[in-house]
Structure 1
Amino acid sequence: MSLALLAGCTDDGEELGADDENGSDTTGEEEPIEPFESFPGLTAEVEILVDDRGIPHIYGQTDNDVLYAQGYHMASERLFQMALLRRRALGRQAEVLGEDFVDQDVTSRTFNLRHYGSLNAERLREDSPAFYNAAVSFVAGVNAYVDEVNAGTQPLPYGFAEAGFTPENWSLEDEFAISKLFMLGNSNQLERDLLASVLSTNLPDVWESFELGKPMFDTPILKPGELPPPSAPGSLPSQLGRIPARAADPYSEQAVAEAFAKLRKATGHIDPPGPFGSNNWAIDGRHTDTGRSMIAGDPHQPLQSPSLMFGVHLNSADAGQGGTQDVIGFSFAGTLGVQLGHNRKLHWTATTNFGDVMDLWDVRVEDEGVWAGDDYVEWVTREEVIEVAGGEPVVLEVHDVPGYGVIVPETLLPLPVSAPGRQLLVNWTGFQATAEERCFFEMGIAEDIDTWEQAVDIMEVGGFNFIAATADDIAYRVSILVPERDLSAGYLPYLIIDGDNAGSYWDGYLSQAQMPQTRAEDRGWVGTANNDPFGFTFDGDITNDPYYYGYFYASGLRAKRLDDRFEELTAAGAVTQADMEALQLDTHSTLSDALLPILFDAAEAVGTDPALAEYEGNADIQALAAELEGWDQRMDRDSSAALIWHAWLHFMSHEAVGDDLGFLFTLVFAEEPPYILKIPGLAMTGGYSTDNLIQTSQAEVALAGLQRTAQWLTETFGGIDPSGYSWGDMHGTYFANPFGGELDGGWVATNGGEDTLNVSSSNFYAGAGGDAVERFDSTDGPIFRIVTTFAEDGTPQATVNFPRGNSGLPGTPHWDDTLEDWVEGVYSPLPFGRAEVESAMESSYTLSP
């Protein structure tokens, strides 16, 4: 293990995130800034103007004043949600919510989020005292509101009395632990690596056939001429033949089902990335009707009630006292500043990048330590006591392996992935002090693309496809600590690794030059949809590329549609804001372009192809095929054909690969339907290097799926007549709350499907037989949609919609007032200038020193 890994340094020894001449400690003061021991109090009055969507616009004299007010106001709207998020990160949910939350607490304690959050805070204190002080101010604002609630001068928000606890004061480490929690969710690959390992162990022949990493469409983020040299995909000899199969017995259906049910429950609070769904893009002025750039983003997150994100505007710059803040956008509840939004010159957006920053090893245990290759490492044991409301405390013994990660507790994964005398070790690049909070803060004060890129490069653990635009420039950039892996050592990082393989352990990171990045000078636009940035996975082999970056990317469905539409729009010229909004709302089914011709040919061949004799005279099949022929290929709520298509796609998938995957079929599809649908898609279109997955013919599979669709429609709606059903009857978004009660947001019919840009994914299968669930509920989606143009003076002008409201207080005006606009795709301006804010102002109040 290299010292660079432990110290958070680049390969050449330079400290990551250290201040440079453009650093953030420029607050107008010439004297060095000293870090706060505690918040000294407001320097002057702070105005909080709340607009007609419940977004606070906070005006103060200094950065610290407005960050204090942000903490205070966020707590006034979201205190119960923040309290639960804090407990998620600290592993203290069961203490108030009972034994159902013990498993989640085990995960948080295992990953030691509070400890690593505290390291982040300590590092920030040294690297950027100005921002450290802003963080101290934010927490002080939260605590000021908590004190008022506990003193009875503010009402106790809904949830506390019902759950039987009262608000606690926050420490600075709590906020940073919440940030670590979100970063872990962004980069968590634990479940994917385990599922891939189960597939490769139980189904070795199928595993070789379907080339899991291969996308449906070969659409990279970077185009020819933009790849960082040397990074030509597939340019080196394959190493697959040198990688031995991992010795493990197949797992039983019951063991796998129980283990993954347990793991999903234990990691549910991390909000792991998936289903794949985020989009963002920017286009420069040569293609737009204004002659200036445009940028759009719709990050997809779990759609909870209240939303995980909070709209806010911070302004200390107008006061002329050295304040750096005039930034508006969205922050994760419980965290300070603005993570995604715009300032006076620049707008930035993000999607998940899926660089691989987590590995699992099956290591040999001896005495009080493990063998990591040829190195024996003694573990450090810590005892974690999890208090349980209404029950006995749970005592968890965790073994940290210094420099190598942490042993996965057996209670977290009751699956015999390791032989006797061996255990599972997980390592994550977040097991150190990282600087994600400062990265977002620095992006918020960047005034041009150059300084914004410097801010992005501070990021170390969050895998984000960042895109930014000013009026006259656009850029795409990624910065993340991706371990440098030598696959010639004979292992695959996306499977459980043999811990005896000494060459598999991390010893450095990829350089910034190897990260995805472009200014898109030639084409004038750039977009991401969680797709492979380089194209390393397109041949199904990640061992023949110049370096390993990641494996589990989106399957190219949205990326293909995005690229196709941009080619069309830029060829036509004069792209408008309305075009960008329509693209975010696009519900065209990309898979239908590839698969419907197969279905139509099969239906037409009935009566002439002897292999299809059993379908002769089946009027239902022909009627459904005819209905799909007249379909506009849009997954809209009022479309009956969209429901026919959705049912056929999934019944066809079961017919195509259900026999190959066996009892793992529904488990695989339950994980991430947008990703897994590529398997039957590629099988049906001949996209694999082997056709072993289709034992009959594409036509027979297509018609069998259509026959099952007719049977299901009849059983569900009494017949196949399209006037009797629509997509919105069966599909919608459910806004859950981990506590429930009045915080539950309910269900609403929504547009979109698994393969649309406006993705709205749901689980189809109810059991191993491929039967359908009673309702197709989506629980992930665009947590906001934003499209930004630029005024003649370069000021960003954003339009936005978001669910469900900006408040977390049930029954208040802004609890669910933005939901309808989000469902209907209605955009409204996001007020930014003072005159705009005052025009939209609904209420206001002042905080005084």
Structure 2
Amino acid sequence: MRRIGMVIAGLLALVVLGVAVFSFVTVRRSFPDTTGEVQISALKGDVTVQRDGRGVPQIYADTPEDLFLAQGYVHAQDRFYEMDFRRHVTAGRLAELVGDAALDTDKYVRTLGWRRVAEQELALLDDDTLRLVNAYARGVNRYIDGRSSAELSLEYAVLGLTGPSYRPERWTAVDSLAWIKAMAWDLRSNMTDEIDRVLSTEKLTVDQVEELYPDYPKGHATIVGDEGTVVDGSFTSGRGPSTTGLARTAVAALEAARDGAEALPALLGTGDGIGSNSWVVSGDRTATGRPMLANDPHLAPSMPGIWYQVGLHCRTVDEACPYDVSGFSFSGLPGVVVGHNAKIAWGVTTMYADVADLYVERVTGDTYEYAGQQVPLETREETFEVAGGEPETITVRSTRHGPILSDLDDDAADVATTRRAQDAAAGTAAGTSYEVALRWTALDPKPTIRAVFSLGRAQDWEQFRVAAKQFTVPSQNLVYADVDGNIGYQSPGTIPIRTTGDGRWPVPGWDPAYEWSGSVPFDQLPTVYNPDEGFVVTANNKVIGDQYPVNLGADTAAGYRSERIRDLISGRSASTGEGLTVDDMARLQTDTYNANAARLVPELLTVPLDTTYYSQGQEVLAKWDFMQDADSPGAAYFASVWRHLLARTFHDELPEGQWPDGGERWFAVVDRLLDRPASRWWDDVTTPGVRETRDQVLADAMRDARDELTMIQSRDPGEWRWGTMHRLELVNPTLGDSGVGLVDRLFNRGPYKIGGGNGIVDATSWDAAKGYEVTAVPSMRMVVDLDDLDRSRWINLTGASGHAFHEHYVDQQDTWRAGRTLPWAFSREAVDEATDDTLTLTPVP
């Protein structure tokens, strides 16, 4: 028996060893070669790819075509599955890859027609841009040619266990252009707010809803100030002539719809807290006497992170080969989206320009009403292939305003249902249905890809503005600095002018009065160059004051982050008399001060609690410095109080889908209510005969929080930690949500305990209606020193590689989480010194 046991143990050991070897080989077979030489027939000359210790590539070539071909090759080496996943999403073909679970997403995307618009944009590209986009596609295809799916990524190997073998299609220029539509959708501004306003009228009047969307706080600064306006067809900053007599877009709020629907589902990173910080300071405020620029875009976390670091360098920079640029790119898209070249640096934040409107349409049969006439609907058939299932076909209907969303979304159809009931009561003809159509600037073909290449080439402010003019969608705040000491800001984008209404509520599609009358000319968009105060801050806050003659968008961030950044920039210079350093800028990016707590905690401390057990929470707040660090007991308790305060104040009067997420808008709402202790909002309408007041709600919220933290952490307040509740999990966008623990663990990483929070400079957002888990993060951080570009710093959320278990899959996360950054080599000398691996791409002889 002992010998039999030994034999069985030996066999089991061989099986385990075999599985381990198979797993090791399967995992590693997709890892790319980063040294040696590869021949590529499309190249005109040698290209070198030098990678540092984190796997970040710097690419050197003699022609633009070779340079961007190599970028496509390198992107495919590290991130091809991510690229393929994205193009399936943007084409509405994700179900082909992962099955019917993605079919609803595909229907939405195909209804919006992202890829159809991208195909139209391809035809609008100039010859130079088209040549570079095609070169990038050739580089991608050179890498994937001859490789099996499993050799491209582990995800394909896992998918192959449950479905038929899959062979990725060749990459095309349209695949790259369609990705910009996905980003534009994520950053489409206030469409969700527009629908939420209507949804909230289920229980509230329009006036009550408006109280929950307060005006921009009067004490908070706008990006370019309150003095610039449009004069003689151009934007003029500073103290210009009076705006009296200038034509203004009507801003009257609409009361068109009474019930409604949620926005389309999140696809590629939408969620609470999507936004960004960026700021630029002049040499008058820096230790070097030259400008510095900082940027950290806030997007939903994913594995791998959304950004890819890269340098693109012409060996000889001249008119024939004008690129010497480094920064953050998107895999699947040629060029550098955010970063710097040898002369200028730029950063981006979401502008929250209102570029999308919902139109309620009266539909009868295959026509819809417009200006008193019945107009034929536009229709097309869309067929979906489904992995492991049968094909499915839908009919997409559109009006002059855009695709009808309510054909796919029951909630969107509720907008129409309510309107139908109202019109039926008013005697509208039977047989008419009511639908909701979307008008969105990104559905008009205008290729933003040109701006990406132009930014990489720009050498000064004027060339930067030429590039910004091409940045049509999404609308982003652009900050600027150059090595000659100049700083600036520019609003770009296609921003509609509304003849009636302000875009905050759905409007009647049959009434021509609600049409757009064009877009704001670029020369009239807000801009500032070398401002007197010596810095520009953008944190999704309001761009300009009400003297500006066009409503750019009402639903910006309320300015709590931007005010904190402004205070820190000003205070650093004033308190020390010394200029800002790169380290100062990087520390500012991870500041966790909670301005909402600074306003609310003094009120909480005045409310008596009836037992020592409950008052211990107040004692924690009394000692707290309002910093939302991961190891802070005060931050943990306050977050719980905030969540329960919002629930007790608003859940009784709002539909569940509109419960407060706890972000900056709600800071402003509660700020105003604190000065109105008898406001009706404090009363719980579900307790008839009882009138709750502010102090009662505050006390109950503190009791709720004490009980919650006792249950989920400890009875001892000294053991409470914010990071224990506020955790970041990095999830693969397809297989990471498989529900199979082993598969999830292959691709996901975390959870990690982190600090920060909503409305905080270190913007690690969470949704108060759902819990404390992280929903958005600074997806990267960068600080550019225009005095010495090699002193610049950067960090990515995860790492360069998209290959699970690769050494660079998540090797930047610990540094990111600690609030540190990495050296950013730019000059050839610095790059050579930092190089660990070199790959040479050569032409076929």
Q: Normalised by the size of structure 1, how large is the TM-score? A: 0.84
1-structure distance, mates of 2:832, 2:118: 38
Say whether 1:683 aligns with 2:673.
Answer: yes
Structure 1 partner of 2:544: 534
Structure 1 partner of 2:409: 412
Structure 2 partner of 1:712: 708
Structure 1 partner of 2:761: 757
Answer yes or no: is the 8 Å Cα contact 2:272–2:775 preserved in 1: no
Deviation at 1:234, TM superposition (A): 12
Say whether 1:477 aligns with 2:490.
Answer: yes
Among candidates 638, 647, 652, match of residue 654 of structure 1:
647
SS class of match (2:481):
strand
Answer yes or no: is the 8 Å Cα contact 1:45–1:848 preserved in 2: yes
1:314-349 superposed Cα distances (whole Å, 9 cap, x missing partner): 111437682111111111121111100110011110
1-structure distance, mates of 2:545, 2:762: 23
Q: 1:386 to 1:473 in 2, by over 3 A?
A: same
Trace 1:357-368 onto structure 2 (pairs within 5 A): 357-368=355-366
The worse-fitting range, judged by mean Cα deviation, of 91-100 and 556-565 is 556-565
Among candidates 512, 517, 520, match of residue 510 of structure 1:
520
1:126-166 superposed Cα distances (whole Å, 9 cap, x missing partner): xx32221110000011111111314x9x9232111222322
Among candidates 561, 566, 575, match of residue 564 of structure 2:
561
Answer yes or no: is the 8 Å Cα contact 1:235–1:546 preserved in 2: no
Say whether 1:821 aligns with 2:815.
Answer: yes
Answer yes or no: is the 8 Å Cα contact 1:657–1:680 preserved in 2: no
Say whether 1:700 aligns with 2:689.
Answer: no
1-structure distance, mates of 2:319, 2:287: 38
Answer yes or no: is the 8 Å Cα contact 1:346–1:796 preserved in 2: no
Deviation at 1:225, TM superposition (A): 3.1
Answer yes or no: is the 8 Å Cα contact 2:799–2:813 preserved in 1: yes
Answer yes or no: is the 8 Å Cα contact 2:276–2:349 preserved in 1: yes
Say whether 1:669 aligns with 2:660.
Answer: yes
1:690-709 superposed Cα distances (whole Å, 9 cap, x missing partner): 94423444333322211111
Q: 1:438 to 1:99 in 2, by over 3 A?
A: same
SS class of match (2:379):
strand
2-structure distance, mates of 1:298, 1:156: 30
1:438-469 superposed Cα distances (whole Å, 9 cap, x missing partner): 11210111111121111101111211011010
Answer yes or no: is the 8 Å Cα contact 1:280–1:351 preserved in 2: yes
Deviation at 1:367, TM superposition (A): 3.8
Letter matched to residue 738 of structure 1: P
1-structure distance, mates of 2:538, 2:760: 14
Trace 1:22-33 onto structure 2 (pairs within 5 A): none
Deviation at 1:752, TM superposition (A): 0.2
Trace 1:446-457 onto structure 2 (pairs within 5 A): 446-457=458-469
1:256-312 superposed Cα distances (whole Å, 9 cap, x missing partner): xxx64xx5xx53224336414410000001111111101100011121101111111
Deviation at 1:727, TM superposition (A): 0.7
2-structure distance, mates of 1:61, 1:375: 60
Q: 1:235 to 1:40 in 2, by over 3 A?
A: farther
Deviation at 1:409, TM superposition (A): 4.4
Say whether 1:798 aligns with 2:802.
Answer: no
1:734-786 superposed Cα distances (whole Å, 9 cap, x missing partner): 111122232223311111011210011112335xxxxxx4xx21131111111
Among candidates 243, 255, 258, match of residue 245 of structure 1:
255
Among candidates 442, 458, 465, match of residue 477 of structure 2:
465
Deviation at 1:637, TM superposition (A): 0.9
Structure 2 partner of 1:581: 586
Letter matched to residue 345 of structure 1: K
2-structure distance, mates of 1:242, 1:315: 51
Instruction: Figure out how many residues of one structure are paired with residues of the other and give that number.
Output: 755
SS class of match (1:149):
coil
Answer yes or no: is the 8 Å Cα contact 1:341–1:349 preserved in 2: yes
SS class of match (2:154):
coil
Letter matched to residue 564 of structure 2: R
SS class of match (1:417):
helix
SS class of match (1:351):
strand
Answer yes or no: is the 8 Å Cα contact 1:621–1:703 preserved in 2: no
Among candidates 725, 728, 735, match of residue 730 of structure 1:
725
Structure 2 partner of 1:102: 103
Q: 1:238 to 1:74 in 2, by over 3 A?
A: closer
Letter matched to residue 586 of structure 1: D
Letter matched to residue 104 of structure 1: T
Answer yes or no: is the 8 Å Cα contact 2:177–2:447 preserved in 1: no
SS class of match (2:816):
helix
Letter matched to residue 491 of structure 2: V
Q: 1:242 to 1:594 in 2, by over 3 A?
A: closer
Answer yes or no: is the 8 Å Cα contact 1:805–1:817 preserved in 2: yes
Say whether 1:521 aligns with 2:518.
Answer: no
SS class of match (1:52):
coil
The worse-fitting range, judged by mean Cα deviation, of 726-735 and 208-217 is 208-217
Structure 2 partner of 1:841: 835
Deviation at 1:195, TM superposition (A): 1.4
Q: Which runs of 5+ in 1 are unaligned?
A: 1-38, 252-258, 537-543, 607-614, 767-772
Q: 1:704 to 1:764 in 2, by over 3 A?
A: same
SS class of match (1:518):
strand
Answer yes or no: is the 8 Å Cα contact 2:339–2:346 preserved in 1: yes
Letter matched to residue 534 of structure 2: G
1:186-224 superposed Cα distances (whole Å, 9 cap, x missing partner): 226443321121113431166355151424563321224
The worse-fitting range, judged by mean Cα deviation, of 651-660 and 351-360 is 651-660
Q: Normalised by the size of structure 2, how large is the TM-score? A: 0.85
SS class of match (1:296):
strand
Answer yes or no: is the 8 Å Cα contact 2:291–2:787 preserved in 1: no
2-structure distance, mates of 1:382, 1:645: 52
Q: 1:167 to 1:597 in 2, by over 3 A?
A: same
Answer yes or no: is the 8 Å Cα contact 1:71–1:140 preserved in 2: yes
Q: Which runs of 5+ in 2 are unaligned?
A: 1-39, 161-165, 237-241, 421-431, 684-691, 737-742
2-structure distance, mates of 1:46, 1:116: 34
Say whether 1:51 aligns with 2:52.
Answer: yes
Answer yes or no: is the 8 Å Cα contact 1:186–1:273 preserved in 2: no
Say whether 1:191 aligns with 2:192.
Answer: yes
Structure 2 partner of 1:25: none
SS class of match (2:564):
helix
Among candidates 610, 617, 624, match of residue 624 of structure 1:
617
1-structure distance, mates of 2:456, 2:145: 30
Trace 1:163-562 onto structure 2 (pairs within 5 A): 163-164=159-160, 165-187=166-188, 189-204=190-205, 207-208=208-209, 210-215=211-216, 218-228=220-230, 245-246=255-256, 248=258, 260=262, 267-272=265-270, 274-318=272-316, 322-374=320-372, 376-402=374-400, 404-414=401-411, 415-418=413-416, 419=420, 420-471=432-483, 472-487=485-500, 491-536=501-546, 546-562=549-565
